[in-house]
Amino acid sequence: MNRAWWKESVVYQIYPRSFKDTTGNGLGDIYGIIEKLDYIKALNVDVVWICPVYESPNNDNGYDISDYRTISEEFGGNSAFDLLLKKMHDKGLKLVMDLVANHTSDQHEWFQQAKKTKTNPYRDYYHWKSSKNGEAPNNWQSIFGGTVWSHNETTNDFYLHLFTKEQPDLNWENPKVRQEIYDVVRFWANKGVDGFRMDVISLISKQKEFPNTIYDNYQDTIKNYYANGPKIHEYLQEMNKEVLSKYDLMTVGEGPGIDLDNGLDYVHHDRGELNMVFHFDHMFIDAGPKGKYDIVDFDLNDFKSVFNQWDQLLKQGGWGSIFLGNHDFSRMVSRFGNDKKFHKRSAKALAMLLLTLRGTVYIYQGDEIGMTNVAYPSINDYNDVETLQAWQEAQMNGEDMDVFLKKVHLQSRDNARTPMQWDKSLHAGFSNSKPWLTVNSNYKTINVKSQDNDPLSILNFYRDMILFRKENLCLVYGDYECLDEHHQQIFAYRRNDGQREFLVVHNMSCDPITWRSTVNHHQYTLLKTNTESTQIGFEFEPWQSKIFIKT
Ligand code: TEU
C-alpha cells in the first residue's frame, strides 16, 4: 500500500461557531481557534478541518455560502484566516477547508442575478423547472423536509434545492459553474490550504429530467435519485485534472448515497477523483425507512459489518475515513457508548476503536473530552434548521410532540454543536457572554481544564492513543481482519502489516464478558487498555478495550 501523509494523518474537526469566542458576542471565531492552537497541537493531531467560515446568512450555519472568497467578519474576516493558516503551518499543522459546491446561499450574487429574468447570464447557474398546475414539478422531498422546489415569482417557475429553500442547487452541467468552483479551489489552494472536505459532493450531478422517485425508503431515494448522478465521475475527474492534481491536497468527499456499491468509484487510486469519502452507513444505522427521526434499535453486528465490508472494499485500491461523529450527528459517546455509568470508560473504548481501524481518523471537537448529547427542555432552545424543520413536519403530521421532543434529544444535530467545554466557569469558558446555543449543563464535570492534568482523563487517553497510532504504522496500513463477527458484545480484529500483528478487542457492552475465542491468548501480550484492570487475558470489564501484540 502506497504511503501518503493524508493516510497517516489524524484530523481534528472544528465547528468554529462553537469552539471559542474571543469577541464576547457568543459566537466562536477564528481568533478563538488561534488561541487554542497549542491545545490542538498537544492532541498530537496533524490536520485541522474547519467547517465553513465564509460569508453566509447562516441559515444552515455557514453551509449556505454567499461569497466563496470572503471569510465572514463574524469569524474575523480574511486577515484572521490568513493568520490562522500561517500560525498553523508554523506549528506543523495542516488546514483543511470545507468546500460547499453543491449549492450556494440564495443571497449569493449568482442566485440574486439568476432569479431576475429567464435571460439573465446567471440563470443557468441553477436548476429551474416549470409546472403546468403551479404545483411542485416532482415528488422529491428535501433532505431537511418539504418539497425540493421553491417558486420564483419573477420568472414564474421553480428552482431546485435539495436542502433548505435558502440553499439553491448549482447546475454543474453548466461549464461556467464548474470553472467558477475550480477557481474557488485554486484561490484557497494558492493561499496554501492543505485540502478540502467537499460537502455533499455526491449530489452535484443531477438527473436532467428530474423523474419522480418510486421509493418510500428515504435512503433509496437519495441513493438513486439525488446522489451518484450520471456525470458525477466526469465532474470529479475534471476537477481533479484541472485543479486538485496541481497541488498536494488532501480531499475527502462527503456523500449521502455513497455506499458499498459505488464507494470505490469515488476513491480508487487509478481513477483520479478523491482521496477518500465519508459514507454514512454506520451513521444511519439507527434510522428506519423514513429517515433519522424514524429511530430503530442499534445492533452491534450491523455496526461491525459496516466496518468489515468497507475495509474489504477499500483494500481493492482505495482509502477510507474513520469517524464516529461530526457536527451533523449526536455525540458519539451518547450514541455508540454509554454516557451515564460508563461514560469515561466507553469514551475511551470508542477512542481506541477509532484509532485502531484502517483509514484516516477524524476526531470531532469535544469528543476528546467525552462531550455528551444535550437534552434541552423545549424546542425553542434548539437552533438547527434540520431539527426545526423536522419538528414542523411532525406537528403537521399530528405526531405526539412530547414523544417527538425525546427523539430530538436523541437525534438533533445541536447535540454536537453545543459550545466547547473549556472549564467550569460561566459559559464553560467558551465565551464571556451568552452563547448562541446553550452550553450543556454537564460542563462543570466534563471540561478540558479538569482533564488536562489528570493522567487518567479521556483527554489524556486520546493524546496517548493518537501518539500510539502514529508510532505504529501497522495501525494505519496493516491488514484488517475481523474476528468472531457475530458476537453480540465483542468487536475484535487483527491488524497485521506482515511484520507485526496487533489484536484489538472491545467489549462494547455494559456487562463483564469473557471472550471465548479460537485465538490463543498466550500468543499475545497486552499493551494497552482503557481501565485500571490488570487482567491480561480475554476477560473484559464493561466497556473495556484491550490492545495486544503478537509475541
Ligand atoms: O451534510 C449533508 C448531509 O447529508 C446531512 O444532511 C446529513 O444527512 C444530516 O445532517 C444528518 O442529520 C452536509 C453538512 O455536513 C451539513 O451540515 C449541511 O447542513 C448539509 O451538508 C448541507 O450543506
Q: What is the distance between the alpha carbons of residues 191 and 193, in angstroms, rounded to a whole number?
A: 6
pLDDT at position 1 over 80:
no
Angle at which helix 385-396 crosses helix 401-411, to 10 degrees, equals 160
pLDDT at position 382 over 90:
yes
Radius of gyration of the chain (CA): 23
HSE toward the beta carbon, residue 39, CA cutoff 13 A: 21
pLDDT at position 132 over 90:
no
Ligand 1: residue whose CA is nearest its atom 22 = 63
Catalytic site residue 199? yes
Pair type for strands 360-364 and 10-14: parallel
**Quick one: pLDDT at residue 474?**
98
Q: What is the distance between the alpha carbons of residues 545 and 526, in angstroms, rounded to a whole number?
A: 11
Check the CA dihedral 50-85-433-69 and report its sign. Answer: negative
Catalytic site residue 38? no
Residue 35's alpha-carbon distances to 16, 30, 446, 466, 487, in angstroms, are 12, 9, 20, 22, 45
Q: Please report, for the chain, how many H helices and E strands are present, in that order.
A: 17, 22
**Quick one: pLDDT at residue 290?**
87
The CATH code belonging to domain 5-104+175-378+415-465 is 3.20.20.80
| pLDDT tens figures, 261-294 | 999 999 999 999 999 999 999 999 999 988 899 9
Ligand 1: residue whose CA is nearest its atom 4 = 256
Q: What is the distance between the alpha carbons of residues 233 and 272, in angstroms, rounded to a whole number?
A: 9
Close Cβ partners of 328 (under 8 Å, ≥ 6 residues apart): 413, 416
Q: Please report which confidence band the pLDDT of residue 478 belongs to, taking 50, 70 and 90 as the band edges.
A: very high
**Quick one: pLDDT at residue 485?**
97
Span 479-550 CATH architecture: Sandwich (2.60)
Q: Please report which confidence band the pLDDT of residue 174 belongs to, taking 50, 70 and 90 as the band edges.
A: very high
Q: What is the distance between the alpha carbons of residues 353 and 88, in angstroms, rounded to a whole number?
A: 28
- The DSSP letter of residue 449 is H
**Quick one: pLDDT at residue 313?**
98
Collapsed DSSP state (helix, strand, coil) of residue 159 = strand
Q: What is the distance between the alpha carbons of residues 41 and 309, in angstroms, rounded to a whole number?
A: 33
Close Cβ partners of 183 (under 8 Å, ≥ 6 residues apart): none
Collapsed DSSP state (helix, strand, coil) of residue 390 = helix
Residue 38's alpha-carbon distances to 42, 167, 423, 455, in angstroms, are 6, 36, 16, 18
Q: List ligand 1's pocket residues with C-beta within 6 A.
A: 60, 63, 100, 143, 163, 199-200, 254, 256, 292, 327-328, 386, 413
Q: H or E segment at 237?
A: helix 232-242
Task: Decide: 348 and 400 in contact? Cβ < 8 Å.
Answer: no
**Quick one: pLDDT at residue 534?**
85
Close Cβ partners of 273 (under 8 Å, ≥ 6 residues apart): 233, 236, 237, 240, 253, 265, 266, 267
Residue 432's alpha-carbon distances to 74, 369, 382, 413, 436, in angstroms, are 16, 21, 21, 24, 12
Q: How many whole angstroms from 471 Cα to the centroid of ligand 1?
A: 34
Residue linked to cell 475527474:
237
SS3 content of the chain, % helix, strand, coil (to 5): 35, 20, 45
pTM score, whole prediction: 0.98
**Quick one: pLDDT at residue 448?**
98
Q: Please report which confidence band the pLDDT of residue 133 belongs to, taking 50, 70 and 90 as the band edges.
A: confident
- The DSSP letter of residue 358 is S
Class of the domain covering 109-160: alpha beta
Check 194, 238, 254, 414 and give the catalytic one.
254
Q: Please report which confidence band the pLDDT of residue 447 belongs to, taking 50, 70 and 90 as the band edges.
A: very high
Task: Locate the ligand 1 atom nearest the alpha carbon of residue 63 and give its number.
Answer: 23
Task: Locate the ligand 1 atom nearest the alpha carbon of residue 326 and give its number.
Answer: 15
Mutate to test the pocket of ligand 1, among 143, 160, 321, 412 (most ligand atoms within 8 A of CB): 143
Mean pLDDT of 398-409: 98
Task: Locate the ligand 1 atom nearest the alpha carbon of residue 413 and give its number.
Answer: 12
Q: H or E segment at 97?
A: strand 94-99
Residues recorded for the chain: 551
Mutate to test the pocket of ligand 1, among 63, 259, 277 (most ligand atoms within 8 A of CB): 63
Q: How many whole angstroms from 163 Cα to the centroid of ligand 1?
A: 8
Ligand 1: residue whose CA is nearest its atom 20 = 63
Q: How many whole angstroms from 404 Cα to the centroid of ligand 1?
A: 21
Q: How many whole angstroms from 60 Cα to the centroid of ligand 1?
A: 9
Ligand 1: residue whose CA is nearest its atom 18 = 63
Q: Please report which confidence band the pLDDT of residue 540 belongs to, taking 50, 70 and 90 as the band edges.
A: very high
Q: How many whole angstroms from 210 Cα to the centroid of ligand 1?
A: 21
**Quick one: pLDDT at residue 491?**
98
Mutate to test the pocket of ligand 1, among 59, 105, 108, 200 (most ligand atoms within 8 A of CB): 200
Mean pLDDT of 98-112: 98
Ligand 1: residue whose CA is nearest its atom 5 = 328
Check 64, 74, 166, 199 and give the catalytic one.
199
Q: How many whole angstroms from 384 Cα to the centroid of ligand 1?
A: 11
